[in-house]
Amino acid sequence: MKNIMYKILFKFFNKINKFKIIVSIKYYELETNQKINYVTQGEGGLVLSGDITKFRIAETSHLKSGSYIECSGGVLIGEYFHTGRGLMIFSVAHDYLKAEALPYDEKVLFSPVIIGDFVWCGANVSILPGVIIGQGAIIGMNSVVTKDVPENAIVVGNPAQVIKYRDKEKVESLIKDKKFN
């Protein structure tokens, strides 16, 4: 009897969670006046925090479960962006270098994050304030992006480092032939 009750409760709360995610996405779309493509992949929803009016994502791009994006410094995501679950983007940081208290004071630094077209981020990628990711870049899973990523670069690690580059001519050919999803 207990097992049946837990199964019923699990299904009930699962439906509530799915409904909550749908409602939050619709709210974000209304507040930012844009379509946000969201793909469920495991647990968790999408959280946009801070000044979400400074968040922009192309209609051809998508976000997945467990993503958290702090928008106050500005976040711009280009065309055909793909990500794994657990993406974290921060566009604000504490000014610990000039702080008048430890570990930091109330001063906040706003730095936009810009992600170019055709970028692919693996699961659990973190992108720090002020980073620009160039067109066609690939960010390996669990990477922490602390500085700009050049076009077509493949980066991995914490901090993320360039390990190689995609073939520039091949990427340009695929774009010219409109072969993207």
Beta carbons of 38 and 26 less than 8 angstroms apart: no
Instruction: Decide if 88 is inside a domain.
Output: yes
Across the chain, mean pLDDT equals 94
State pTM to two decimals: 0.92
* Domain around 26: 2-176
User: 90 has which bridge partners?
Assistant: 70
**What residues form DSSP beta bridges with 83?**
121
Q: Does residue 114 belong to any structural domain of this protein?
A: yes
* C-alpha to C-alpha distances, 120 to 15, 51, 64, 82, nearest whole angstrom: 30, 25, 12, 5
- What's the CA gap between 130 and 136, in Å, rounded? 19
Contact call for residues 146 and 107 (beta carbons, < 8 A)? no
Question: Is 80 inside a domain boundary?
Answer: yes
Task: Kindly state whether residue 181 falls inside one of the protein's structural domains.
Answer: no
Q: Using alpha carbons, select from 21, 126, 121, 155 the residue that is nearest to residue 68.
A: 126
The domain total for the chain is: 1
The C-alpha atoms of residue 20 and residue 105 are separated, in whole angstroms, by: 35
* 90 within some domain: yes
Known catalytic membership, residue 94? yes
CATH no. for residue 150? 2.160.10.10
Active-site residue, from 35, 94, 107, 147: 94
Q: What is the pLDDT of residues 27-74, one digit of tens each?
A: 999 999 999 999 998 888 999 999 999 999 999 999 999 999 999 999
The band of 99, judged by pLDDT with boundaries at 50, 70 and 90, is: confident
